[in-house]
Structure 1
Amino acid sequence: MNATEHTPADLLRTALAADPSRPLVTFYDDATGERVELSVATFANWVAKTANLLQGDLAAEPGDRLALLLPAHWQSAVWLLACSSAGVVADVGGEAAGADLVVSGPDTLEEARACPGERVALALRPLGGRFPQPPEGFLDYAVEVPGQGDRFAPFTPVGPDDPALALPGGVELTGAEAVARARADAESLGLSAGSRLLSALPYDGWEGVSSGLLAPLAAGASVVLAPRLGALDAASLDKRKESERITHTAD
């Protein structure tokens, strides 16, 4: 725990300073066989590039609301921390029509078209691949993000009392409240530095977002995201837990 960790983005900065090479987020798509592992440094680089895209090309300002229409995925985790970095409110599963901008996966494009502002689409293909044909009316994230800067500095400092996260049911959290909840969840789960949490929970509310990113980040632990874990039989699940050195589960 660090006294300077007031926002989710602060948690990432602490992790980067402590050990940039350790694994932070590992993602499995058990429908395709995809496995992606991101170190703290690699994850932080994606966050910086995405925050630069938000602040620069998309002209997002602190307090703007971004409807986050994405499943549990490593790129979804990147967007959560990019929003925190830029002071943009990540509205998990939020109404696109009332948002300043929207980020959508391939399955929610029609819903996302209701957003009057900028629209970004993620193909969620292996290795962060782009759409074969970009959806009309959307920027393709995989096309736009590679050229962004590797370091991010917000035009306006993001404070702990600034709104950070909106959740289904009308719950809204400041950066400080999100960090406090994440720390409490980490303690409740028994997470500590070096823990490996396997999460099959969707990113459709606090429990999934916390277990799938924020609680492990707050504890100096790492997360293995496997939203389609139910496709595995018992033997395959045991093998997964052994190969990934899983110490805790959230499903």
Structure 2
Amino acid sequence: MNATDRTPADLLRSALAEDPARPLVTFYDDATGERVELSVATFANWVAKTANLLQDDLGAEPGDRLALLLPAHWQTAVWLLACSSVGVLVDVGGSAADADLVVSGPDTLDAALACSGERVALALRPLGGRFPQPPAGFVDYAVEVPSQGDRFAPYAPVDPQAPALAVGGTELTGAEVVRRALADAAELGVGAGARLLSARSYETWEGLSAGLFAPLAAGGSVVLCRHIEQLAEGGLEKRVESERVTATVR
């Protein structure tokens, strides 16, 4: 982070400038055995493509509200930063009926149909795979995102003081997300080069912060674990060692 970083998207730009090759998000799904590691550069590329999809194909503008109906997942982290890049308010677990557009995983498609605007569906399959049969009424993210541009520029500047994130009944501006993430990083003992393992859900600020924002703000990285309760005995200790984890939250 540098002194001019005032939004989560700013934090990612600074991380990209400082060390694009270092790992940023390592994702495990212990129900499927999936492991994905994304460097800062790879993660930023996914964010740029998703932001281009959001701005150009879906017509999203600063101030629009996006209901994000996804679990803790590396693709969810991508959408959080893409929304910040465009200036869209991302409502985690929010009402699809009250949103301008919705992004849904395979388990929340029925709820997502309540959105009268654009609807995007993610299969959440290993390697970002597409749906075998695209769900009716939805854009399949895995089909549309690969062809998007690798660089992103917003049509309008993003206001750091505008609402950027809604979670658990609280709305935060982009600047507030950055400030709270930095404070959390200090409390969790996460600094530059640290590796934080988080098994928390993305349904709360604490989960979002540990699972993305705090490590990003501090120059560290996250090992994001879904379905960690399915790990065999001793599996967590082995993961902590193999991933060089410096702090763990559950």
Whether TM-score is above 0.5 comes out as: yes
Q: Scaled by the length of structure 2, what TM-score is found?
A: 0.99
Give 1:227 deviation, angstroms. 1.8
Residue pair 1:49, 1:145 contacting (<8 A) in 2 also: yes
Q: Deviations over 1:83-140 (max 9, x none)?
A: 0000000100000000000000000000000000000000000000000000000000
Q: Does 1:157 align with 2:134?
A: no
Q: 1:57 — aligned with what?
A: 57
Q: Which letter maps to 1:83?
A: C
**TM-score under structure 1 normalisation?**
0.98
* 1:218 and 2:217 aligned: yes
Q: Give ranges in structure 1 of 5+ residues lacking alignment.
A: none
Letter in structure 2 aligned against 1:180: R
Shift of 1:155: 0.2
Q: Name 1:202's counterpart in structure 2.
A: 201
Q: Which runs of 4+ in 1 moved over 3 A?
A: none
CA contact (8 A) 1:123 1:130 kept: yes
Q: 5 Å matches for 1:1-251?
A: 1-169=1-169, 171-251=170-250
Report if the CA contact (8 A) 1:94-1:168 is conserved: no
User: Structure 1 residue 187: deviation in Å?
Assistant: 0.5
Once the two structures are overlaid, the 10-residue window that deviates more, 157-166 or 7-16, is: 157-166
Aligned-partner Cα distance in 1 for 2:178–2:239 = 29
Partners of 1:151 and 1:18 in 2: CA distance: 17
Equivalent position SS for 2:197: strand
Once residues 60 and 133 of structure 1 are traced to their aligned partners in structure 2, the CA distance between those partners, rounded to angstroms, is 26
Give the C-alpha shift of residue 230 in structure 1: 1.3
Give, in whole Å, the separation in 2 of the partners of 1:234 and 1:195: 25
Between the two proteins, the alignment pairs up a number of residues equal to 250
1:52 deviates by: 0.3
Superposed displacement of residue 234, structure 1: 3.7
Aligned residue identity for 2:228: L
